[in-house]
Every structure is written in C-alpha cells, then in structure tokens.
Amino acid sequence: MPRLMMTVMLVLALTACNPKDRRPGTWLSGDLVETPISDWSFTDDYQEVFIETHPWYGIPFSVTVVMTTVNGNIYSPSIYSEPAVFPGNKYWNKVVADNPSVFVQIGDNLYPRRARLVTEAAEFEAAFEALAVKYPFWRNAKDDPEQRPAFALICMDEVI
C-alpha cells in the first residue's frame, strides 16, 4: 500500500499543471512575493489570474478566476449555477472555507493571501462596481439584475 501511495503521489507531482479556463489545476509556480503590496493597479493588465487552494488531503487545487482591486485589496467573484449560501457547490470555495490560506498567481509571481468571504454590504458593492469597470460581463450583470448570476465575492487579504 505505501508503494501505491508513493506512485500516485509521484504521478500527481509529475502531472502538476496550472488551471486553464474551467479546468482546475494543482500546484502553481512562480516567484514568491512576500512583501506587502499596497498598490495592486498592475493587476489591471491581467484579465485572469490563478488561485491555489490547499485541501485537507495535501494536493493543491487551483482555479482560474477574474479579479479586481479596491482600496488596496484584491477581490475575486465565484459564480454559482443557482443561488446558494457560501460555500455552495463550488469545490474551491469549500476548500477556502476550511483553509483560507491561498496563493494568488498574477503573471509570474505568487502572492500568499488569506481568502475571506465578503459579507459587508458597502465592501461588496465597491468590489462589484470595480468588477463592472474592468469586465463587460460584470458591467452587464450590475446594470441588469435579471442577467446577474448568483455569486459570492472573496477578498484575498494580506497574510499577517
């Protein structure tokens, strides 16, 4: 049994990959940036970024997300297929609800962060508006509530 487990771990390590569109990935790679970032405006150049979560079983689970910035914070939405209470049916949301430690890959850099569900109305509205400014999809969703998907907003707080 230990040999089988080692073989499985080796295969997973060798096949580690970044997520792509809706396909999840495993370990992300990049230069680790642990210095505090106060100005995230450079992220405006990126339409998508990756988030690496850390499930209980020890093999990272990473996803592709969109993100925006507001007042020195970074935010990512998580769309649900039907209305749900966080973490709902999204696997990565379930993982961050249990373990909020994540890495956010932006370009070639990895930023350690702490995922937090946005529950305060003013913060939610500000992040939603920032998404609407950056992405046409979110502008349409904001302007037309009939077209708005069920979603949660997750803030990627600085690790202290």
pLDDT in tens, 70-115: 999 999 999 998 888 999 989 999 999 999 999 999 999 999 999 9
Q: Can you give the pTM of this predicted structure?
A: 0.85
- Residue 23 in any domain: the answer is yes
User: Alpha-carbon distance 99 to 57, whole Å?
Assistant: 12
- Residue 10 in any domain: the answer is no
How many domains, in total, are found in the chain? Answer: 1
- Distance of alpha carbon 2 from its chain centroid, rounded? 33
The alpha-carbon radius of gyration of the chain (Å, integer) is 16
pLDDT in tens, 123-150: 999 999 999 999 999 999 999 999 899 9
- Residue 3 in any domain: the answer is no
- CATH code for the domain in which residue 73 is found: 2.30.110.10
22-136-50 Cα angle (round to 5): 35
How many other CB atoms are there within 10 angstroms of residue 87's CB atom? 19
Predicted pLDDT at 49: 96
Full residue range of the structural domain in which residue 132 is found: 18-158
Predicted pLDDT at 17: 73
